[in-house]
Structure 1
Amino acid sequence: MTSIPFVREFDFEYGRCDQLSPLIRRVVAQNPGPFTYTGTGVYIIGTDDVAVIDPGPVQDDHIAALDKALDGQRVTHVFVTHHHLDHSPLAHPLAQKHGAKVYGFGPQNIAPTGGEVRLEAGDDVGFQPDIQVKDEQVFSGSNWSVRALHTPGHTSNHVCYALEEENTLFCGDHVMAWSTSVISPPDGHMGDYLRELARIRDKQYDRLWPTHGPAVENPSQFIQTYIDHRLQREEQILVQLRAGLSNIKDMVAVMYADVDKRLHPAAAHSVLAHMIHLVETDQVIAEGELDLQARYSLPVPA
């Protein structure tokens, strides 16, 4: 497998507002965990009239830290990358406090049923933006302009936001320096994800700021390793099919033999995302619904 050059170290303190560039500041919420890493990084864009990206969780200490960082400034836009509980819950309370609007793509296409393996921090099922953004739509403040890019894959409603004055992208959970992104059906879609990775790669941003963890430097090179890693995972699946395995559970036992078995259910959902993409691209045939119970095989050569 391609070795992704992960970066996991960065300088921060909970509640501290760090100046990252002339137009970017960040406050990290104290909600660390397996899906949030050190916590939610909330970005403040601009110097007078400002925008906030992914306000994060509703926590008293976090709210106090944001209030301190925003003292004397007017929030004009609150942007949300997607509907997970570590990103969007504080969006409406913060916007209401400042007389602003919440911007995002809207609710996910497929609401969670409650029975799926939990692969994320949880869904903010009631999230609905005040303003639904359009792909490539530009929003402006007193000294900044932000372009919204609809990037489905991690979720169907995921949006990245580009700060055009600095050729920088706030990429939510689409790309992270510390880990790969979770793609879990039915709302997550591997085909969409691979397409949007290539799109972001080709835009040649100077830097990416994920919502969790440190910045991604040399984004085009880094994203290409992300893509290579995913394509090699699909080749592993094809190898298992050639060996005669036909269901995802058996494939996971082989492909993830050196991984804690408690993580195999999550691995199975990742394999399912890849398998759906392989079926959609006519590389694999499915018997039955595209789910964990289906039997899969290679097409018979003509």
Structure 2
Amino acid sequence: PGTVALKARTGCRVFGLPAPAGAAQDQTFAPDEEPVHGDVIRTDAGTLKVIHTPGHASNHLCYVLLEQELLFSGDHIMQGSTVVINPPDGDMKAYLESLYDLLDEPVRYIAPAHGFLMGHPEAVIDYLITHRLAREHKVARVLKELKTGSLKALTADAYDDVPAAIHGVAARSALAHLLKLEGDGRAAREGETWHATSHT
């Protein structure tokens, strides 16, 4: 939402992808340019490479300032906390694949939209991948133990290491994990109830 005021004050051109219809995003965002993955943008500060990183949001982009090997990670990677993956626009499988893709980029530092500049980008990204896969394993284990369960019940058990006050937010990421497990053939649902399949 701040891009309108920023453009009005500076005359800058806005690069990005508009929100998909119905997504819980700013539907008024109207970029001047809609770059695609791999595009290069020349700026006074250097050359920006566009990296499409769906997961947190289907239209999320990161930018690498090539000369500085600096990744502007937006909401894809945050310092000090993990990103909420909120279906249906948020997608856990796409998020993990986007993290793997970033490991192929020439990056020395990560500049997130939230938090401080981060060094050791490979370690940061490896941690996020490991954390998400560990949580997926826990969701799958809880699902198998419960036989069947609602999203609320699954969240309470699979996120028992986080404060109950944020279980409402955690439930969005729990759903993203369940949808990924469903896509992998490891979980299924009937109405509001989830159950493990024989592949889990």
- With structure 1 as the length reference, what TM-score do the two structures score? 0.61
Partner of 2:9: 97
> Which residues of 2 match residues 43-192 of structure 1 at below 5 A?
89-112=1-24, 123-142=25-44, 144-192=46-94
Cα deviation for residue 232 of structure 1 reads: 0.8
Residue deviations 1:40-76 (CA, integer Å, cap 9, x gap): xxxxxxxxxxxxxxxxxxxxxxxxxxxxxxxxxxxxx
Distance 1:195 1:127 in 2: 26
**Larger helix fraction of residues:** 2
Partner of 2:196: 298
SS in 2 for 1:216: coil
Aligned 8 A contact 1:152 1:192 in 2:
yes
Alpha carbons of structure 1 residues 192 and 208: separation in structure 2 relative to 1, 3 Å = same
Aligned 8 A contact 2:58 2:90 in 1:
yes
Larger radius of gyration: 1
Aligned 8 A contact 2:84 2:170 in 1:
no
SS in 1 for 2:62: strand
Partner of 1:70: none
Cα deviation for residue 142 of structure 1 reads: 3.8
SS in 2 for 1:132: coil
SS in 2 for 1:202: coil
Aligned 8 A contact 2:38 2:51 in 1:
yes
Distance 2:45 2:168 in 1: 47
Alpha carbons of structure 1 residues 143 and 111: separation in structure 2 relative to 1, 3 Å = closer
Partner of 1:222: 124
Gaps of 5+ in 2: none
Residue deviations 1:86-134 (CA, integer Å, cap 9, x gap): xxx221332233333211012235323xxxxxxxxxx422112111111
Partner of 2:182: 279
Query: How many aligned residue pairs are there?
Result: 198
Aligned 8 A contact 2:135 2:158 in 1:
no
Q: Spell out structure 1 runs of 4+ moving beyond 4 A.
A: none
Partner of 1:251: 154
Cα deviation for residue 191 of structure 1 reads: 0.9
> Which residues of 2 match residues 201-216 of structure 1 at below 5 A?
201-216=103-118
Distance 2:151 2:121 in 1: 32
Cα deviation for residue 185 of structure 1 reads: 0.9
SS in 2 for 1:101: coil
> For residue 18 of structure 2, what is the amino acid of its counterpart?
G
> For residue 99 of structure 1, what is the amino acid of its counterpart?
G
Distance 2:8 2:178 in 1: 43
Aligned 8 A contact 1:110 1:186 in 2:
no
Distance 1:255 1:197 in 2: 23
Partner of 1:268: 171
